[in-house]
DNA sequence: GGAATTTACTGGCATATACCACTATATCTG
DNA sequence: CAGATATAGTGGTATATGCCAGTAAATTCC
């Protein structure tokens, strides 16, 4: 499996490489819906959060605020999500699924489940859950803090 | 650590999210060199392979050939790598580091090592190596094949 | 209460990455 | 050998993602 690349030494290279591969596999499973993996992720997270402020959503996704804004554009253009101003704090905008967006998301969940169970089957369900836990740990602010400032216990 | 997102269910979401975080951390460690993590990865892989054909490099990186072409553009523009035609097969182009590219790569290795050892320290060196193995497995063509066509043993 | 600061978002620019259509070579086949 | 097919790259278009500079609204501080 090409054990001789920097990805065997550099976790960053390794994770990006695996990202590309997994992105392909999941996207194929998404099929003709025309939506990307990231878009499914976003729709699902928005659905779960209800009506998150952009800032909060960006943080949850571990994504730059402006990157989130850009990424939402096609979804807004296609009428899957919409932005609503927060009446309490007029700096804040909240994202929510439109009716169309909810339908699309539900459709995608079914397809996603196929991809996810294939992954679990090939990689092993237990190892899969463990991998997600490890990745969530890496994605946490605590991890970033320890990385940047050293482990001071 | 926000245990309630889709990233706890969807390995694809989880890996992209962790990619973003790790990309940030490593890039910060790269400092003022002006190069991105991906560019370091590419320079390092090219260095290791010597003078790989674009196709072969794309495969090793698990990257689309045209994506690789686009990604190399800034590196070519900045004089870090160059393309040379293969005399045997004139369809083939090979990439190689320029003298400047070699110097830059060597410089980056030092910085990268700082980032990688911080990662190992925070995540655990053994777990870290194990994670890279898991990611390399996921990135392998065998994995993709099993994912797409099912495990037929 | 008004100036200074912080916060939330927007828009422009640059790289990362994929797909598709097209071109140039090379290889295969009758 | 000529036509069909396969292979390697290129260029265009679209999404993904980050940084920086700006804008507007809220909060803080005399």
Q: What is the tens place of the pLDDT at every residue in A53-66? A: 999 999 999 999 99
Given this model, what pLDDT does residue A2 score?
64
With residue A153 as reference, give the H or E element that holds it. none
Cβ of B12 and A23 within 8 Å?
A: yes
Q: Tally Cβ neighbours within 10 Å of residue B84.
A: 11
B114 in A contact zone (CB under 8 Å): no
Mean pLDDT, contiguous 10-residue spans, chain A (153 residues): 83 98 93 87 96 97 98 97 96 97 94 95 96 98 92 63
**Tens-place pLDDT, residues A3-32:** 689 999 999 999 999 999 999 999 998 877
Q: Where are the domains of chain A?
A: 25-140
DSSP letter for B65, please: H
Chains A & B: contacts with CB separation below 8 Å: 218
User: Per CATH, the architecture of A25-140 is what?
Assistant: Orthogonal Bundle (1.10)
Cβ of B62 and A17 within 8 Å?
A: yes
CATH classification (class only), B35-140: mainly alpha
- How far is it, in rounded angstroms, from Cα B147 to Cα A84? 40
Mutate to test the interface with B, among A1, A9, A13 (most CBs of B within 10 A): A13
- How far is it, in rounded angstroms, from Cα B61 to Cα B52? 12
Q: Is the pLDDT of residue B1 over 60?
A: no
Find the nucleotide nearest A36 (Cα to C1′).
D15
Sequence-distant (6+) residues with CB within 8 A of A54 are A65, A68, A69, A72, A83, A92, A93, A94, A95
Please list every residue in chain A whose beta carbon sits closer than 8 Å to the beta carbon of residue B25.
12, 144, 147-148
Residue B17's Cβ-side half-sphere holds a number of Cα atoms within 13 Å equal to 34
Please list every residue in chain A whose beta carbon sits closer than 8 Å to the beta carbon of residue B18.
15, 62, 135-136, 138-139
Chain B residue with CA closest to A10: the answer is: B116
Question: Chain B, 75-134: which CBs lie within 7 Å of strand D?
Answer: 83, 86, 89, 91-94
């Amino acid at each position: 499996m090409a054990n001789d690349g920097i990805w065997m030494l550099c976790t960053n290279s390794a994770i990006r490489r695996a990202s590309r591969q997994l992105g392909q596999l999941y996207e194929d499973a998404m099929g003709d819906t025309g939506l990307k993996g990231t878009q499914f992720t976003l729709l699902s997270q928005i659905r779960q959060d209800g009506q998150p402020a952009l800032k909060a959503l960006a943080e949850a996704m571990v994504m730059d605020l402006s990157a989130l804004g850009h990424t939402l554009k096609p979804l807004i253009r296609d009428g899957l999500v919409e932005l609503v101003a927060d009446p309490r704090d007029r700096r804040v905008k909240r994202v929510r699924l439109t009716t169309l967006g909810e339908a699309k998301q539900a459709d995608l969940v079914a397809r996603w489940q196929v991809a996810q169970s294939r992954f679990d089957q090939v990689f092993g369900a237990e190892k899969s859950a463990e991998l997600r836990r490890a990745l969530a740990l890496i994605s946490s602010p605590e991890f970033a803090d320890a990385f940047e400032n050293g482990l001071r216990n």
